[in-house]
Amino acid sequence: MRAPERGALPRGLASTLGRAYGLLTETVQDLSTADFARETRCSGMPVGPLLVHILYDAQRALIAFASPAVAAPDRDFVSYWRDFPPGSDEDTSFVRGVAAAYRKPGVLVQHWREVSEAAVRAAALAEGRVETQGHVLEVRDFVATLVLEATVHHLDLTLNLPDAPEPDPEALRVTARTLDGLFGPAAWDVIDWDTTTYVLKGTGRLPLDDSDLDMLGQHADRLPLLG
């Protein structure tokens, strides 16, 4: 399957976010303490700390939905990510410390469930524009950024969790559309990965092999598109 059709964001993105967050909950809800220590695709963030990272993203969403903006948008669902270039190192000590403070995985999972479900309800009711991280976005664009974050980190979480569910297909397509926007139309027709591989290689989660380099040609040095 080739990378998905390019085009506008789909309707009902709050529902897409709900499914993406729900599948994250399904992924972590029955994990053991040992499972929460398993490594993920995010360096320095095992499962527990990475879930804390995603939880704080959902919490940021709640704050944004309660912070309507009147200024004109200065970012959309693609340009938002240009503030987060690949290769930027992240200090993981905070999320590791927070994860350790929960002591029991179930307590962290319950907190995640409550915050993420509240964020989805707020997304379904939100209209207009919101402010987050110093930028203004239309609600639909902002929700698309949350979908990408949830989807990419879902793939990160499941590295050593073979029984975990796959990400939501629509969430994967939204994520791929974002990568399309970052990659640009000149590169679209050369991509022959399935959507999950596109997301993993487009974000640097999987390395490019020789066949990838041949396929991408002059566009290969543009990857990863985000970290």
- pLDDT of res. 204: 95
Phi, psi of 30 (to 5 degrees): -110, 20
- pLDDT of res. 151: 98
Could you give all domains of the chain from N- to C-terminal order, each with its CATH number?
Answer: 13-169 (1.20.120.450)
pLDDT, one tens digit for every residue, the chain (227 residues): 344 455 678 889 999 999 999 999 999 999 999 999 999 999 999 999 999 999 999 999 999 999 999 999 999 999 999 888 776 567 899 999 999 999 899 999 999 999 999 999 999 999 999 999 999 999 999 999 999 999 999 999 999 999 999 999 999 999 999 999 999 887 778 898 999 999 999 999 999 999 999 999 999 999 999 97
Predicted TM-score of the model (pTM): 0.95
* Cα 194 to the center of its chain, rounded Å: 18
Tell me the angle at which helices 13-28 and 169-183 cross, rounded to the nearest 10 degrees.
Answer: 110
- pLDDT of res. 2: 44
- pLDDT of res. 4: 44
What distance in Å separates the CA atoms of residue 208 and residue 204, rounded to the nearest whole number? 8
